[in-house]
Amino acid sequence: MNPAPELSIIIPTRNCLRWLPRAIASIGEGPNLEIIVIDDGSTDGTGQYLRDLARTDTRLRPIAGAARGPAVARNQGIDAARGRLIAFLDADDFWLDGKLDAQLALHRDRPEIGLSFTDYRHVTEDGEVRGPCFAFWPRFDRRNQMMDRPFVLAKDAFAQIYAENIIGTSTVMVRTDLLRKVGGFSAELASSEDWDLWLRLAALAPVGCVPGILMEYLMHRPGNTTGNFRARLVSVGMIAARHQAAARALDPAAVRYYRARMLAYRAECAEVAGQSVAAVLLRIRALACQPNRRALREAGASIIRLWPAAVRRVLSGPGSGGRKFA
């Protein structure tokens, strides 16, 4: 067997052959790494593609998954990994130049770091950029906006991650020994198992950050698990309850930020369900819980969206002759 690589890259995939080649190509030519791709029950030809690619790229290690979802698939990859460090990459995401080099340098310089992450940007399938991650989280952005080089988060890193889910899975690099110590991803969670894992890791070791945008996250792909609002709400509630006491001990404000974030997410769910009045009330509660520009902007947008519908209801009500006005 070849010497153990420094880095193992874990890619879970199910029916993502449309995007998988680009994800693998974005890794680059680094020789001291292995690429573990877990085919989690694909029916789109992914298995044959991986077998063919493995003949020319000796770094690639295809593994047949258990068809039980990304958490179990990533855990299979963790079990198989031979590298000292592990990086996660989803099959429909894409790394940008310099990502691995920057994080590897940070981990070599600060070996006590348990995990590191980078900024990233949201993009649609049409290539439209919907903005960077860090700017979306006002508290984290305010605390770290002056940082232009890799850094280690303050001792309250756990509370920062509890308050705002700033870490994108496809940006993470983590020590393999620590991952195995905490047992990897919690497969019993239907959603948000990544946030739970980052919290468990942050409780044990310092967290590093590379502030540059070094990954692109594909939004709104049909079938994407992030679209399951109900499952996400249930899972997030379980995770929050599990870690609330530890977060409050470090920073009581972190719990308020979390609650405001969940109110905003519930408002988003209400909007998708067509419950405009409920969405407005939830946005206002989120703003009252944690006032900031983003919450104010979202509450205002919700009210503006509701206003034309409210006017139409008044104009088409009793005394209007049953007429409806556009």
- What is the reported pLDDT for 143? 87
Whether residue 305 lies inside any domain: the answer is yes
Residues 118 and 193 in one domain: yes
Residues 98 and 221 in one domain: yes
Q: Average the pLDDT over 146-174 and give the result.
A: 95
Whether residue 244 lies inside any domain: the answer is no
Residues 72 and 124 in one domain: no
DSSP state of 31: S
Is 37 within 8 Å of 11 (Cβ atoms)? Answer: yes
Number of domains forming the structure of the chain: 3
Whether residue 39 lies inside any domain: the answer is yes
Cβ neighbours of residue 71 closer than 8 Å, sequence gap 6 or more: 184, 185, 186, 187, 189, 193
State how far the Cα of 122 lies from the Cα of 128, in Å rounded to an integer: 8
Q: Average the pLDDT over 145-172 and give the result.
A: 94
Strand partners, 88: 10
The pLDDT of residue 320 is above 70:
no
Please provide the DSSP assignment of 3-28 as one string: PPPSEEEEEEESS-TTTHHHHHHTT-
Whether residue 273 lies inside any domain: the answer is yes
Cβ neighbours of residue 56 closer than 8 Å, sequence gap 6 or more: none
Residues 216 and 271 in one domain: no
Q: Return the CATH number at 180.
A: 3.90.550.10
Residues 128 and 116 in one domain: yes
Q: Average the pLDDT over 300-320 and give the result.
A: 58
Domain C-terminal end among 89, 109, 133: 89
Residues 208 and 103 in one domain: yes
Residue 111 three-state SS: coil
Instruction: Band the pLDDT of 106: cuts 50, 70, 90.
Output: very high
Domain C-terminal end among 56, 89, 122: 89
Residues 11 and 84 in one domain: yes
The pLDDT of residue 145 is above 90:
no
Q: Average the pLDDT over 174-193 and give the result.
A: 95
Cβ neighbours of residue 40 closer than 8 Å, sequence gap 6 or more: 12, 13, 14, 65, 66, 67, 68, 69, 70, 72, 73
Most confident of 132-136, 141-145, 208-212, 314-318: 208-212
Instruction: Band the pLDDT of 309: cuts 50, 70, 90.
Output: low
Mean pLDDT of the chain: 87
Model confidence pLDDT, tens digit, residues 107-131: 999 999 999 999 999 998 888 888 8
Residues 132 and 13 in one domain: no
Domain that holds residue 84: 1-89
Model confidence pLDDT, tens digit, residues 248-286: 999 999 999 898 888 877 787 777 778 888 778 878 877
DSSP state of 150: -
Q: Average the pLDDT over 212-220 and give the result.
A: 90
Q: Average the pLDDT over 56-72 and give the result.
A: 94
Whether residue 113 lies inside any domain: the answer is yes
- What is the reported pLDDT for 1? 56
Is 104 within 8 Å of 27 (Cβ atoms)? Answer: no
Model confidence pLDDT, tens digit, residues 4-46: 999 999 999 999 999 999 999 999 988 799 999 999 999 999 9
State how far the Cα of 208 lies from the Cα of 160, in Å rounded to an integer: 12
Whether residue 168 lies inside any domain: the answer is yes
State how far the Cα of 217 lies from the Cα of 230, in Å rounded to an integer: 22
Residues 219 and 130 in one domain: yes
135 compared with 216, residue with greater pLDDT: 216
Residues 150 and 38 in one domain: no
Instruction: Band the pLDDT of 323: cuts 50, 70, 90.
Output: very low
Q: What is the pTM of this model?
A: 0.86
State how far the Cα of 152 lies from the Cα of 224, in Å rounded to an integer: 32
The pLDDT of residue 299 is above 80:
no
Percent of the chain surpassing pLDDT 90: 64
Residues 204 and 258 in one domain: no
Residue 116 CB: number of other CB atoms within 10 A? Answer: 28
Domain C-terminal end among 38, 59, 89: 89
- What is the reported pLDDT for 220? 60
Whether residue 80 lies inside any domain: the answer is yes
Residue 23 CA to chain centroid, in angstroms? 16
Whether residue 35 lies inside any domain: the answer is yes
Residues 18 and 110 in one domain: no
